[in-house]
Amino acid sequence: MAITSLVGANLEEIGEAIAGLNEPKYRSRQVYAGIYKHLYHSWNQFTDLGRQLRARLNDKYSLSHLPVQQVFVSKDGTRRYLFDLGPGQKIESVFIPEERRDTLCISTQVGCAIGCLFCVTGRLPMQRNLTPGEIVGQILTMQADRGTSSKRLNVVIMGMGEPLNNYDNLMKAVRLITDDRGMSISPRRVTLSTSGIVPGIKRLAEEPVIPNLAISLNATTDAVRDLLMPVNRKWNIAALLEACRNFPLAQRRRITFEYVLIENINDSLEDARRLVNLLKSLQKKVNLIPLNADPCIPLKASPPARVLAFQELLARNHITASIRRPRGNDVSAACGQLAGRDPLHGDA
Ligand code: SAH
Ligand code: SF4
Confirm or reject: Cβ of 162 under 6 Å from ligand 2: yes
Backbone phi, psi, residue 195, to 5°: -80, -10
Which protein residue has the closest C-alpha to ligand 2 atom 6? Answer: 122
Which protein residue has the closest C-alpha to ligand 2 atom 8? Answer: 161
Among candidate residues 23, 92, 134, 258, the one labeled active-site is 92
Residue 280 has a CB neighbour count (10 Å cut-off) of 11
Ligand with smallest separation from the Cα of 126: 2
Tell me the pLDDT of the chain averaged across its residues: 93
Ligand with smallest separation from the Cα of 166: 1
Atom of ligand 2 nearest to the CA of 122: 6
Q: Cα–Cα–Cα angle for 153, 178, 73, nearest 5°?
A: 35
Which protein residue has the closest C-alpha to ligand 1 atom 7? Answer: 195
Question: In testing the pocket of ligand 2, which one of 91, 114, 294 has its CB within 8 Å of the most ligand atoms?
Answer: 114
Atom of ligand 1 nearest to the CA of 218: 15
pLDDT of residue 343: 56
Q: What is the CA radius of gyration of the chain?
A: 21
CA distance 133 to 124: 22
Which protein residue has the closest C-alpha to ligand 1 atom 19? Answer: 336
Among candidate residues 105, 112, 244, 335, the one labeled active-site is 335
The alpha carbon of 335 and the centre of ligand 1 are apart by a number of angstroms equal to 6
- Read off the amino acid at residue 177: I
Ligand with smallest separation from the Cα of 291: 1
Confirm or reject: Cβ of 194 under 6 Å from ligand 2: no
**61 in Cβ contact with 4 (< 8 Å):** yes
Residue 146 has a CB neighbour count (10 Å cut-off) of 16
The alpha carbon of 259 and the centre of ligand 1 are apart by a number of angstroms equal to 9
Domains along the chain with CATH numbers:
4-62 (1.10.150.530), 68-331 (3.20.20.70)
Query: What is the value of pTM for the model shown?
Result: 0.95
The alpha carbon of 173 and the centre of ligand 2 are apart by a number of angstroms equal to 20
In this structure, the dihedral spanned by the alpha carbons of residues 229, 114, 199 and 159, taken in order and rounded to 10 degrees, is -100
Residue 271 has a CB neighbour count (10 Å cut-off) of 19
The alpha carbon of 79 and the centre of ligand 2 are apart by a number of angstroms equal to 21
Of 8, 23, 24, 25, the C-alpha closest to 56 is: 23
- Read off the amino acid at residue 168: D
Reply yes or no on whether 112 is catalytic: no
pLDDT in tens, 4-35: 999 999 999 999 999 999 999 999 999 999 99
pLDDT tens, residue order, the chain (348 aa): 567 999 999 999 999 999 999 999 999 999 999 999 999 999 999 999 999 999 999 999 999 889 999 999 999 999 999 999 999 899 999 999 998 999 999 999 999 999 999 999 988 899 999 999 999 999 999 999 988 777 899 999 999 999 999 999 999 999 999 999 999 999 999 999 999 999 999 999 999 999 999 999 999 999 999 999 999 999 999 999 999 999 999 877 999 999 999 999 999 999 999 999 999 999 999 999 999 988 889 999 999 999 999 999 999 999 999 998 888 888 887 777 777 776 544 443
Do β-strands 101-105 and 90-97 pair in parallel, antiparallel, or remain unpaired? antiparallel
Residue 300, CB-side half-sphere exposure with 13 Å CA sphere: 6
Confirm or reject: Cβ of 111 under 6 Å from ligand 2: no
